[in-house]
Amino acid sequence: MHSCVLLPEAANYQPDTLDLNTDAKAAAYWFPCFRDMVIKFAKQAAKSQAEDATAEQRAEQFKTAYLQQLDYHQSNIASNSGRVILGTSELLKLNETMLRRFGFTDPWRSQKQLENASAKARLKLRLEEIDAIENQDDKWTELVRGVLAGNMFDWGAQAISNILEQDSSFGLHAALDRIEKRPWLLDNLDNWLKRLRISSDQQPHKCAVVFVDNSGVDVVLGVLPFVRELLKRGTKVLLCANSEPSLNDVTSQELSALLEECACECAVLSSAWSTSRLLVYANGQSGPCLDMRTLPRELCDAMAANETDLLVIEGMGRALHTNLNAQFSCETLKLAVIKNRWLAKYLGGDEMFAVICKYEAIS
């Protein structure tokens, strides 16, 4: 594994936004939160292998092992404070590690397949909606809103899983109505729109590296229309997805198969996919967050070879739990919907589904 070539100083890079070893308020909230969350994950794990007579027992063993590790981390806060950083990313990754240890490699596989199929059937209509918007600022605003609304479809967030379980018809347009109205909690959209206006001294980006999040509506109806518009500007796009399954996050292998099918719905995607102007890479991660120090060499080499000048990071795990405050050596756009009321308030918001749209030009 290698450090991202877009890190100006890899030695000073710290991905985690929170440190539970030094932030007592954060620790007081997140430890009970993870204790509640593992109950849901254990049920999902057992359900995913219902045909296996050992599934219930292994799911219970997973829960017990996870809670033991959680207790260990909490009991060592005092001794580790100021010495070792304990981010929420560590506890989220621990969930995946323990699931695999007890034989649950991809508990959300069936759910991902259903959501991908449903989203693919709606892609053409979504692209037609985007193409009908003539004003470029309005079009890019809708594309960004689409990425944000798509990011609502996260089975790892309790508030969202409750909605999805109770309303099977909940889709992109319903999510567009639920996200925070502008001005957003962190709102750099106007600066992003200004950057997109082409002039003699402001050309389209050469290559965009996009770290994606969830399967289904998120990647198909949110990210792909956004990426398509970058491709239309002449920007090459490297889509980066998880190396291993994590919650309902799309994996690089799944994303490649998805693009094969989605390319049939759009000439722009088809052309870019067939000519390698749109590529998929594994990001080296096995959890829902993103540590830029642990990327595969192949991805790092591709970033450098293609002269990457735009980094897009999407989702709570990758752009909020990690990398929110990280600095990179190229333009960066971080997009996420905060699906946790405590975290929204912690960051200065006052409502659920607050929005992070953080654009950072090259300093």
Q: CB-based contacts of 207: which residues, under 8 Å, 6+ apart?
A: 235, 236, 237, 238, 303, 306, 307, 308, 309, 310
Residue 289, pLDDT score: 98
Q: How many CB atoms lie within 10 A of CB 214?
A: 31
Mean pLDDT of the region 165-191? 92
Residue 290, pLDDT score: 98
For 18, 123, 163, 206, 269, the CA distances from 263, given in Å and listed in that order, are 39, 10, 30, 22, 5
Looking at the DSSP assignment, which residues form a beta bridge with residue 237? 208, 278
Residue 164, pLDDT score: 76
Say how far apart CA 76 and CA 254 lie, in whole Å.
38
**Percent of residues, the chain, with pLDDT higher than 90:** 88
CA atoms within 13 A on the CB side of 98: 23
Say how far apart CA 304 and CA 50 lie, in whole Å.
45
Residue 182, pLDDT score: 96
DSSP code string of 169-218: T--HHHHHHHSPPSSPSEE-HHHHHHHHS-BTTBPPPSEEEEE--BTTII
**Percent of residues, the chain, with pLDDT higher than 70:** 98
Residue 3, pLDDT score: 80
Residue 20, pLDDT score: 97
Looking at the DSSP assignment, which residues form a beta bridge with residue 278? 237
| Token couple for 66 | 């996870």
Q: Which of 100, 112, 64, 84 shows the shortest CA–CA distance to 21?
A: 84
Tell whether the model's pLDDT for residue 255 goes beyond 90: yes
Q: Which of 223, 195, 239, 233 shows the shortest CA–CA distance to 359?
A: 195
For the stretch 146-175, pLDDT in tens is 999 999 988 766 777 777 778 777 899 999
Residue 363, pLDDT score: 67
Residue 4, pLDDT score: 85
Q: At what angle do helices 136-150 and 189-196 cross, to 10 degrees?
A: 130
Q: Which of 13, 8, 90 shows the shortest CA–CA distance to 293?
A: 13
Q: CB-based contacts of 52: which residues, under 8 Å, 6+ apart?
A: none
Calculate the average pLDDT of the chain: 95
For the stretch 73-98, pLDDT in tens is 999 998 888 789 999 999 999 999 99
Q: CB-based contacts of 333: which residues, under 8 Å, 6+ apart?
A: 192, 310, 311, 312, 313, 357, 358, 359, 360
Tell whether the model's pLDDT for residue 189 goes beyond 90: yes
Beta strand ranges found along the chain (DSSP E): 186-187, 207-211, 236-241, 278-282, 310-314, 331-338, 354-360
pLDDT band of residue 220 (cuts 50, 70, 90) is very high
Mean pLDDT of the region 270-282? 98
For 3, 49, 272, 291, the CA distances from 295, given in Å and listed in that order, are 6, 31, 24, 8
Question: pTM, whole model, 2 decimals?
Answer: 0.97
DSSP code string of 137-154: HHHHHHHHHHHHHHTT--
Say how far apart CA 128 and CA 157 lie, in whole Å.
30
For the stretch 13-68, pLDDT in tens is 999 999 999 999 999 999 999 999 999 999 999 999 999 999 999 999 999 999 99
Residue type, 269: L
Q: Are the C-beta atoms of residues 118 and 327 closer than 8 Å to each other?
A: no
Q: How many CB atoms lie within 10 A of CB 66?
A: 24
Tokens 């308030």 sit at which residue? Answer: 345
Length of the chain: 363
Residue 199, pLDDT score: 75
Q: How does 125-138 read in b/e, with b if 16+ C-beta sit within 10 Å? A: ebbeebeeeeeeee
Q: Are the C-beta atoms of residues 314 and 210 closer than 8 Å to each other?
A: yes
Q: Which conformational region is residue 247 in: left (phi greater than 0), alpha (psi within -120 to 50 degrees), or beta?
A: left
